[in-house]
């Protein structure tokens, strides 16, 4: 039987009381995504979240990015488990890559684990996974830590904050949250529990900084529902709603609207179909029997009786919405009278892709509703007044801004100072910087190695800066391959030189550019005598250098030069 809190405190030795409580951010501080936080005391280590981020513009060919988990590997003997705050990819996406190496217990709410099970099944890890369901309001003992899970409202159902009691004091990790009293799914942030912790005493508050730039309060889901109802009532054709697959509350709103107007419902897109099945099984989505139809059957009903819920609101090139917009979707052809609603915010970096889809939808006759022209999305992250309220509720001795780019962390730190937290009580850290608490208080300590590990296909971490640099060069100026063969005995050219370009020039438009480049190669060969030691390698290096100079001088381009030299 695990010790209760009182028994634990009585058995803590004086030596243990002098140990340090360490908070080690491994991702999510100074960036959006990659959320992963290690909390360590003595021989106990827990991890809160294991998220990914989607590739930035310069990461050509990369599927996604996960945090460097070396610190966890080095301390795996201490690891008691991973706690997941909610089911978004930036909080659970890296979990399969952690469990491949360390099969530690995983704790999450019912919906979060439902999504995780689907993900682990795809990775072939489900049968061995140690998944444990947690319920908001319940407690859990892991090593030296006692944890309580506090209900929070977010843009995905079943989110929790985590209160972590340690021998040094209690810290609260908010996860992603907002504070609203009108949630239609009933999952309202438990402000009373946060307040009770504030009365008991909170050593440190780790609070979501994502929307710190936004003044006031988040708007309610009810307001969004009213807007969606108005749009639906005015539409004379099909309604097509694109959103994040995890937006269960929004999906239920559209289900309710469709039910009230006797419309048929279609879910289209692999991720949304899987998520809806999970949510339906858990009772988070409800719709009348016979209301849902397969996408192949939409032609059997009038357009004004069809509601299609799909993915692709971020302009993903192979999403269902992108295929509809480009006219290559097999079952859904956009036409005059269709109304397409993009019920999500534009994530920075996706604007061009989203704009392309919107333009294509308009070309095909659809009316498009998106966040810039109508309130059809509500953020799941707290605005400034809600962030202040969280600080007032918990009354922390120390404040640590988390989840956001560096400017978000700085602005959140300033906001905390405005609420009365002294500068000495604000610990502004970035990834890898250890936050230390002991008998002397809290401070920033040493750093551990952190970073980003890029996932490309089945490759994990095998693409680094040098590979990305080569990919950028290939994407910008193309490649020129040089094929050349020498007689092994005489050193005389027996084949070539032959130059083949890809993504560099269209030969018909550049005269004799490649033919003249052959002369450059021949000059290099003539300058290196047949009896020169290491002749082939010298020719290869000279050929690359001289061709780069030639192309840069003649056409101001720097293609990648690939010499293929053989001795026969």
**CA atoms of 435 and 456, how far apart (whole Å):** 33
> Residue 90 is encoded by which pair of tokens?
């930036």
Quickly count: other Cβ atoms within 10 Å of residue 2's Cβ.
9
- Residues 252, 185 contacting (CB under 8 angstroms): yes
- Residues 542, 524 contacting (CB under 8 angstroms): yes
> Residue 518 is encoded by which pair of tokens?
């052959």
The catalytically annotated residue of 208, 338, 456, 477 is 208
Higher-pLDDT residue of 253 and 504 is 253
What does the pLDDT look like over 509-536, one tens digit per residue?
Answer: 455 788 888 899 998 888 888 888 888 8
Q: Peptide bond preceding 497: is omega within 30 degrees of 0, i.e. cis?
A: yes
**CA atoms of 36 and 132, how far apart (whole Å):** 19
3-state secondary structure of 80: strand
Return the residue matching tokens 């922390």.
Answer: 396
Helices 248-260, 221-234: crossing angle, 10 deg rounding: 40
Query: If you write DSSP's letter for every residue of 484-505 in order, what string do you get?
Result: EEE-TTT--EEEEEEEEEESS-
CA angle (309 as vertex; 305, 313 as ends), nearest 5: 135
**Do strands 433-438 and 441-447 pair parallel, antiparallel, or not at all (unpaired)?**
antiparallel
**Do strands 29-30 and 404-405 pair parallel, antiparallel, or not at all (unpaired)?**
parallel
Decide if pLDDT at 12 tops 60: no
- Residues 248, 212 contacting (CB under 8 angstroms): no
Segment 172-199 mean pLDDT: 89
**CA atoms of 95 and 36, how far apart (whole Å):** 10
What does the pLDDT look like over 450-480, one tens digit per residue?
Answer: 988 877 766 665 566 666 676 676 666 788 8
Quote the pLDDT of residue 185: 63
Most confident segment among 190-199, 467-476, 504-513: 190-199
**CA atoms of 159 and 88, how far apart (whole Å):** 10
Quote the pLDDT of residue 142: 97
Segment 285-310 mean pLDDT: 94
Quickly count: other Cβ atoms within 10 Å of residue 286's Cβ.
11
3-state secondary structure of 314: coil
3-state secondary structure of 421: coil
What does the pLDDT look like over 534-558, one tens digit per residue?
Answer: 888 899 899 999 998 998 888 888 8
3-state secondary structure of 500: strand
- Residues 437, 168 contacting (CB under 8 angstroms): yes
| Terminal CA-CA length for the chain | 76
Quote the pLDDT of residue 490: 84
> Residue 476 is encoded by which pair of tokens?
């910008």
**Do strands 452-456 and 459-460 pair parallel, antiparallel, or not at all (unpaired)?**
antiparallel
Helices 384-394, 406-418: crossing angle, 10 deg rounding: 60
All domains of the chain in start order, with CATH: 5-216+379-460 (3.60.15.10), 221-369 (3.40.50.10710), 478-567 (3.10.20.580)
Active site residue 208: yes
Buried b (16+ CB within 10 A) or exposed e, 184-217: eeebebbbebbeebbeeebbbbbbbbbbbebeee
> Residue 456 is encoded by which pair of tokens?
């490309």
Percent of all residues in the chain with a pLDDT value above 90, rounded to a whole number: 65
Quote the pLDDT of residue 10: 42
- Residues 90, 402 contacting (CB under 8 angstroms): no
**CA atoms of 84 and 132, how far apart (whole Å):** 11
Active site residue 546: no
**CA atoms of 193 and 191, how far apart (whole Å):** 5
Segment 265-279 mean pLDDT: 94
The contacts of residue 308 (CB under 8 Å, 6+ apart) are 238, 239, 240, 241, 266, 268, 295, 298, 332
Most confident segment among 6-10, 409-413, 464-468: 409-413
What mean pLDDT value characterizes the chain?
A: 89
Quote the pLDDT of residue 474: 67
Quote the pLDDT of residue 466: 67
The contacts of residue 371 (CB under 8 Å, 6+ apart) are 342, 344, 345, 346, 377
Q: What is the pTM of this model?
A: 0.82
The contacts of residue 421 (CB under 8 Å, 6+ apart) are 391, 396, 399
What does the pLDDT look like over 86-130, one tens digit per residue?
Answer: 999 999 999 999 999 999 999 999 999 999 999 999 999 999 999
3-state secondary structure of 113: helix
The catalytically annotated residue of 377, 381, 403, 408 is 381
Residues 466/472/478/480 CA torsion (nearest 10 deg): -10
**CA atoms of 179 and 257, how far apart (whole Å):** 25
How many CA atoms lie within 13 Å of 194's alpha carbon, on the beta-carbon side? 29
**Do strands 131-133 and 493-502 pair parallel, antiparallel, or not at all (unpaired)?**
unpaired
> Residue 428 is encoded by which pair of tokens?
């502004």
Q: What is the 3-state secondary structure (H, E, C) of 234-292?
A: HCCCCEEEECCCCCHHHHHHHHHHHHHCCCEEEEECHHHHHHHHHHHHHCCCCCCCCCE
Closest CA to 142 of 92, 104, 197, 110: 104
Decide if pLDDT at 1 tops 50: no
Quote the pLDDT of residue 18: 47
* 31 backbone dihedrals φ, ψ, rounded to 5°: -165, 160
């Amino acid at each position: 039987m695990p010790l209760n809190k009182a028994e634990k405190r009585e058995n803590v030795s004086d030596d243990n009381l002098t140990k340090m409580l360490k908070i080690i951010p491994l991702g999510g501080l100074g960036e959006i995504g990659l959320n992963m936080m290690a909390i360590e005391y003595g021989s106990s280590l827990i991890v809160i979240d294991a998220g990914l981020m989607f590739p930035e513009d310069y990461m050509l060919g990369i599927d996604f990015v996960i945090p460097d988990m070396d610190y966890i590997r080095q301390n795996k003997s201490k690891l008691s488990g991973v706690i997941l705050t909610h089911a978004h990819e930036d909080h659970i996406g890296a979990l399969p890559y952690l469990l491949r190496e360390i099969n530690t217990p995983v704790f999450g709410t019912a919906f979060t684990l439902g999504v995780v099970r689907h993900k682990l099944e795809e990775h072939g890890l489900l049968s061995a996974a140690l998944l444990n369901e947690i319920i908001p309001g319940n407690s859990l003992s892991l090593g030296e830590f006692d944890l309580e899970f506090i209900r929070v409202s977010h843009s995905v159902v079943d989110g929790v904050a985590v209160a972590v009691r340690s021998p040094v004091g209690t810290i609260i990790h908010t996860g992603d949250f907002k504070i609203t009293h009108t949630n239609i799914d009933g999952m309202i942030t438990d402000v009373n529990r946060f307040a009770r912790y504030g009365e008991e005493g909170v050593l440190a508050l780790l609070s979501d900084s994502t929307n710190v730039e936004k003044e006031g309060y988040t708007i309610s889901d009810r307001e969004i529902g009213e807007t969606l109802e108005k749009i639906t009532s005015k539409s004379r054709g099909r309604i097509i709603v694109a959103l994040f697959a995890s937006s269960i509350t929004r999906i239920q709103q559209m289900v309710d609207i469709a039910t009230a107007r006797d419309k048929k419902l279609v879910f289209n897109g692999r991720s949304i179909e899987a998520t809806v099945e999970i949510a339906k099984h858990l009772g988070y989505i409800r719709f009348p029997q016979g209301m849902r139809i397969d996408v192949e059957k939409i032609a059997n009903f009038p357009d004004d009786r069809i509601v299609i819920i799909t993915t692709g609101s971020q302009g993903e090139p192979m999403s269902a919405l992108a295929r509809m917009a480009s006219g290559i979707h097999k079952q859904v052809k956009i036409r005059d009278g269709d109304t397409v609603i993009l019920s999500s915010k534009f994530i920075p970096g996706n604007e061009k892709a989203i704009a392309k889809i919107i333009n294509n939808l308009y070309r095909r006759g659809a009316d498009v509703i998106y966040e810039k022209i109508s309130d059809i999305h509500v953020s799941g992250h707290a605005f400034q007044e809600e962030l202040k309220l969280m600080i007032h509720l918990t009354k922390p001795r120390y404040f640590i801004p988390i989840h956001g780019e560096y400017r978000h962390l700085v602005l959140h730190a300033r906001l905390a100072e405005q609420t009365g937290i002294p500068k000495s009580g604000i610990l502004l850290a970035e990834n890898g910087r250890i936050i230390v608490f002991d008998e002397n208080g809290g401070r920033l300590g040493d750093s551990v190695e952190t970073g980003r590990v890029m996932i490309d296909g089945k490759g994990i971490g095998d693409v680094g800066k040098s590979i990305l640099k080569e990919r950028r060069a290939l994407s910008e100026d193309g490649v020129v391959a040089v094929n050349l063969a020498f007689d092994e005995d005489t050193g005389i050219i027996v084949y070539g030189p032959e130059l083949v370009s890809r993504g560099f020039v269209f030969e018909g438009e550049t005269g004799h550019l490649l033919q003249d480049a052959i002369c450059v190669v021949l000059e290099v060969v003539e300058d290196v005598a047949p009896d020169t030691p290491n002749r082939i390698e010298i020719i290869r290096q000279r050929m690359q250098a001289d061709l780069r100079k030639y192309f840069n001088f003649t056409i101001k381009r720097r293609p990648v030069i690939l010499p293929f030299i053989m001795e026969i």
